[in-house]
Amino acid sequence: MRVLSEFDTSVRRALSEIDPKWEKYNGLIVCGTHSPKNVEEEITAIREAREKKLPFLGICHGHQLAAIEYARHVLGIQDACSEEWGNGTEVVIKLNELKVGLYGGESYWNHYEVKEGFDELWKKEDNFITCQFHPEYNSSKERPHLLLVDFLKYAKLAN
């Protein structure tokens, strides 16, 4: 399993509680960050996962980069970017204020989100899981988050 971005501690903990062998499975996880760097390398890794149909979990920043990757390489929007770090067609935009806390029962901590309406254009395989919120914060040994459970199911099958 390959894990990219810096906020991986809670993700690693949550996945370990669900399946202690998760790191041996095949897949890619792109976690959140407050200081994006190496975004082009991460977008390349996401593209490879999508094209090879590898299990993918994109959380917060990973969700945003996956949307940009899809916009560039499937929808043909070659200059797709985030308002946070690029110049071009903004697929990811800055919110008016930081979104922190529980919304609809899910935990958020973000200043940027995929543009409204993009989900209608985005076609994902079942094993390509993305979310703007942080499922790892809502997961416990007794009640693992279903997105994490599903991702591990696909990752285990990909071995």
Every domain of the chain and the residues it spans: 2-157
What does the pLDDT read at residue 28? 98
Q: Is the dihedral of CA 24, 25, 28, 34 positive or negative?
A: negative
Confidence at residue 16, expressed as pLDDT on a 0 to 100 scale: 98
* Residue recorded with tokens 């922190």: 100
CB 14 within 8 A of CB 138: no
* Residue-level pLDDT at 134: 96
Residue 136: half-sphere exposure toward Cβ, Cα within 13 Å: 23
Rg (CA), the chain: 15
Residue 83: per-residue pLDDT? 96
CA distances from 130 to 4, 67, 150 (A): 14, 9, 11
Residues in contact with 20: Cβ distance below 8 Å, sequence separation at least 6, in sequence order:
none
The pTM score is 0.96
What's 26's DSSP letter?
A: -
* Beta bridge mates, 59: 131
Note the pLDDT of residue 158.
Answer: 94
DSSP letter, residue 99:
E
Beta bridge partners of 131: 59
Q: Which residues of 47-61 are buried (b: 16+ CB within 10 A; e: fewer)?
A: bebbeeebbbbbbbb
Confidence (pLDDT) at 6: 87
pLDDT number for residue 35: 86
Residue ranges, the chain, pLDDT below 50: none
Q: Which fold has domain 2-157?
A: Rossmann fold (3.40.50)
User: pLDDT value at position 34?
Assistant: 85
